[in-house]
Amino acid sequence: MRITKRTIDEVNLQGKRVIIRVDFNVPLDDSLKIADDSRIRAVLPTINHVADEGAGVILCSHLGRPKGRVCPEFSLAPVAKRLKRLLGKDVTFAPDCVGPKVINLASQLKPGDVLLLENLRFHPGEETNDPQFASELASLGDVYINEAFGAAHRVHASTVGIPTFIKTSAAGYLMRKEVECLEGAVENPTRPFVAVLGGAKVSGKIGVIENLGKKVDKVIIGGGMAFTFLKATGLEIGQSLLEDEMIAFAKGIHAHALERGVKFYLPVDCVVAASLEPGAETKIVPIQEIPEGWYGMDIGPASVKLFSEAIQNAKTILWNGPMGMFERDAFARGTQAMAHAVANAYALTIVGGGDTALAVHRAGETDSMSFISTGGGAALQLLEGGHMPGLAALPDR
């Protein structure tokens, strides 16, 4: 599927100053070092292309949730350091994203120079889409390129505000790839098409479940949300995560899938814990035998085998959401096994960003996937067929 928006290859960049909205919202460890730089690496082709075309590069991004205040722990300084290493050239780091000092740095850019602005969200105007703030950002450059798919579902100054104040704007290579892969997989998949859906809550994926349920050949449900589906079948689930208000919805989705001939898979066993405390007693039990008072935390080995066999003949696999509380080693095996199974399938494999991308990274299978989205919430919104303000703000071809 071809994106309908103007893209970077259709824009004259030579001699321009190009503002690129990137998504450098990378995970940081306790010592504020970058834990995973895949979001930075994903936009290197666009940055290099703009620089090679003889333009000055101005990068802007958010990091974390500083809520309109300057918070040193959310500074993009570690990103500037990593970007310099990845590009193999100097990267100037601005002390702010607007103001006289930033204007001065932007005005001094020579062709091929790279300037990274400080965290956009240090200013309240970013998240409120303040026109004055958007205008100040836009004044730094001549061309705007949106590469921040992970923020394209937000109505922020840097995603929808800047394009209203700048004459030329377009989607970057990553934005184009995200939209074409995700929309293409859903609208025109090579079959059999299998959706693997996990994560904590059914309520967070209502739109995705409804939209994909009409298009897939098989659906596999894991993670905390599986227990609401299991409860809807009449099973007792102990103290496992349950959304009472979603039981009727889960029952309806299951019934509609079966009516349409869609194969519907739920866990057959799970890893349970006596409490939510680290180090609590754990054991593997069939789904029908979850002890009263215990918590379902991960899919079990029989479920892994069932799910792995279900995707073996797939030609397209879309995976969004981990199979359990993978952040804890004791409950990471189901998600890791699923990552290996998806990676080894002879299929187009698309991973829907966020926690799933992190889980794939931890399983060491990043390079084995056909495409890993850089946007968690944005990928969900696109998969449910929802409106993407950051994309809508760009001109059509």
CATH of the domain at 214: 3.40.50.1260
pTM: 0.86
* Residue 39 designated active-site: yes
Q: Is residue 390 situated within a structural domain?
A: no
End position of a domain, from candidates 129, 153, 176 = 176
With a cut of 80, say whether residue 385 has pLDDT above it.
no
Please, are residues 298 and 333 in contact by the beta-carbon 8 Å criterion? yes
Alpha helix ranges (H) inside the chain = 38-42, 44-52, 77-87, 100-107, 124-127, 131-138, 162-165, 173-187, 206-213, 225-232, 247-259, 301-310, 333-344, 354-362, 376-383, 389-392
**Comparison of pLDDT for 278 and 47, the residue scoring more:** 47
Q: How far is residue 253 from each of residues 207, 214, 268, 303, measured CA to CA in Å?
A: 11, 10, 19, 20
Provide the β-strand partners of residue 7: 171
pLDDT at position 191 over 80: yes
Label residue 124 by pLDDT band (50, 70, 90): very high
Contact 205, 194 (CB under 8 A): no
pLDDT band of 354, cuts 50, 70, 90: confident
| Residue 258 included in any domain | yes
Asked if the model's pLDDT at residue 189 lies above 90, the reply is no
How would you classify residue 168: left for phi > 0, otherwise alpha for psi between -120 and 50, otherwise beta? beta
> Do 120 and 245 reside in the same domain of the chain?
no
Estimate the share of the chain in helix, then strand, then coil, as percent rounded to the nearest 5: 40, 15, 40
Query: Which residue is catalytic, options 64, 112, 377, 385?
Result: 377
Structural domain contains residue 182 = no
258: pLDDT confidence band, cut at 50, 70 and 90?
A: confident
The arithmetic mean of pLDDT across residues 288-313, rounded, is: 97
The verdict on 281 and 353 lying in the same domain is: yes
On whether the CB atoms of residues 93 and 118 are closer than 8 A, the answer is: yes
> Which domain, by its residues, includes 270?
189-383
277 and 303 housed in the same domain: yes
207 as an active site residue: the answer is no
* Alpha carbons 225 and 223: distance in angstroms, whole number: 5
Whether the CB-CB separation of 113 and 92 falls below 8 Å is answered with yes
Please say whether the beta carbons of 383 and 211 come within 8 A: yes
Question: What's the whole-number mean pLDDT along residues 256-271?
Answer: 93
Burial class (CB in 10 A: 0-12, 13-18, 19+), 89: middle
The tally of domains found in the chain comes to: 2
pLDDT band at 80 (very low <50, low <70, confident <90, very high): very high
Residue 294 and residue 172 share a domain: no
Query: Is residue 294 domain-shared with residue 260, that is, in the same domain?
Result: yes
Out of 6, 84, 201, 362, the active site residue is 201
Residue 21 among the catalytic residues: no
User: What's the pLDDT score for residue 1?
Assistant: 56
pLDDT score of 100 more than 80:
yes
Among 125, 354, 375, 390, the active-site one is 354
Considering the domain architecture, whether residues 219 and 344 belong to the same structural domain is answered as yes
Question: Within this chain, do residues 121 and 213 fall inside the same structural domain, yes or no?
Answer: no
Whether 63 and 76 have beta carbons less than 8 Å apart is answered as yes
* Non-local CB neighbours of 361 within 8 Å, separated by 6+ positions: 36, 38
For 123: left if phi > 0, alpha if psi spans -120 to 50, otherwise beta; the answer is: beta
Answer yes or no: do 106 and 217 share one domain: no
* Cα 46 to Cα 11: distance, rounded to the nearest angstrom: 13
Q: How far apart are CA 239 and CA 242, in angstroms?
A: 8
pLDDT at 210: 82
Check pLDDT > 90 for residue 128: yes
CA 197 and chain centroid, separation: 14
> Are residues 316 and 208 both part of a single domain?
yes
Q: What is the pLDDT of residue 46?
A: 97
CA dist 222 → 28, 279, 284 (Å): 27, 23, 15
Q: pLDDT class for 397, splitting at 50, 70, 90?
A: confident
Is 41 annotated as catalytic? no
- Average model confidence (pLDDT) for the chain? 93
3-state SS, residue 40: helix
**Does residue 335 register a pLDDT over 80?**
yes
Q: Is 366 helix (H, G, I), strand (E, B) or coil?
A: helix
Same domain, 36 and 140: yes
Cβ pair 356, 319 in contact under 8 A: yes
Whether residue 196 has pLDDT greater than 90: yes
Measured in residues, the chain has a length of 397
pLDDT over 90 percentage in the chain: 79
Among the ranges given (10-14, 150-154, 269-273), the one the predictor scored with the smallest mean pLDDT: 150-154
pLDDT of residue 187: 82
Residues 276-293, mean pLDDT to the nearest whole number = 95
Give the residue with greater pLDDT, 114 vs 182: 114
Q: Would the pLDDT of 213 be above 80? A: no
Q: Among the options 16, 17, 21, 39, which is catalytic? A: 39
